[in-house]
Structure 1
Amino acid sequence: MKMYRLEVLEEQLVATPLGRQIRDIFEEHVEEVMMLINHNRQVMVIWHRNLGPEFINHAVRSGMEKDFEVPREIKGIQLTTLLRRMAAVLQENGSPALARTIGNYSVLVLNWAQRCNSLHQVFDEIKKINAEFTPGTK
């Protein structure tokens, strides 16, 4: 498997104030989510049965390779199914702060998963949203 430098993705993400806000939210919760994936049986089972690692690998590759698209489905599992199930199990097993954050952003993430085929497209969406809500950036 090809190895990628994730710093490249972070640089693209933090190119806008909204992207920096998303990065900060991610950093606030990533440790807890990883702990739950690795040590909480319910979360671990949902993550692996719904092919979380495979989807993550495709997402990272789509951020590095301009023409690569994240499949909407792998081995009969849809990306949106993974996202919905992970949101539910993380809200049930995570901290109140994590549950709140998932509640606040899950619709946005699901919309991006349905409309975007790559991280490049997600980054474009972030830039577009940022421009719409930041005076003088259109």
Structure 2
Amino acid sequence: MCRQLVENVDLPNDHGHMIRVSGAILAEDMHFNDKTGMLTVEKVYDAGQGKLAYGAISAVDDRRDRRAYIIEERGERCLASNGSITLDLRSSDLIHLLALALEESRNVSSRAPGLEHIHRKLAANA
């Protein structure tokens, strides 16, 4: 039987407060986009008591974007927080919003390769 290593980490966040996590890493991924030159590193932690912590850092040239969230399952609902704002959503609504975000991300990539970050900021501020 393998015990998971519990880590104490601070997930940096440019869009809310830094999120402190004590948990075991569940997944981590790193990918590089050849077209844009963007490197993205993502990590998911099991923070215990039905909570997951997610951190992502994307960088291209000297620009970087750091995001962190805590997601807590509560039956049919989820609490999602970036450290500043907490949303209480039905789980099905959260999945729907994630699907819309993925679809928009694909659309942005096909419209203007290399300018995705500008379109995302415009969409977020609309």
Q: TM-score, normalised by structure 1?
A: 0.27
Q: TM-score, normalised by structure 2?
A: 0.29
Q: Which has the higher strand share?
A: 2
Greater relative contact order: 1 or 2 (C-alpha under 8 angstroms, separation 6 or more)? 1
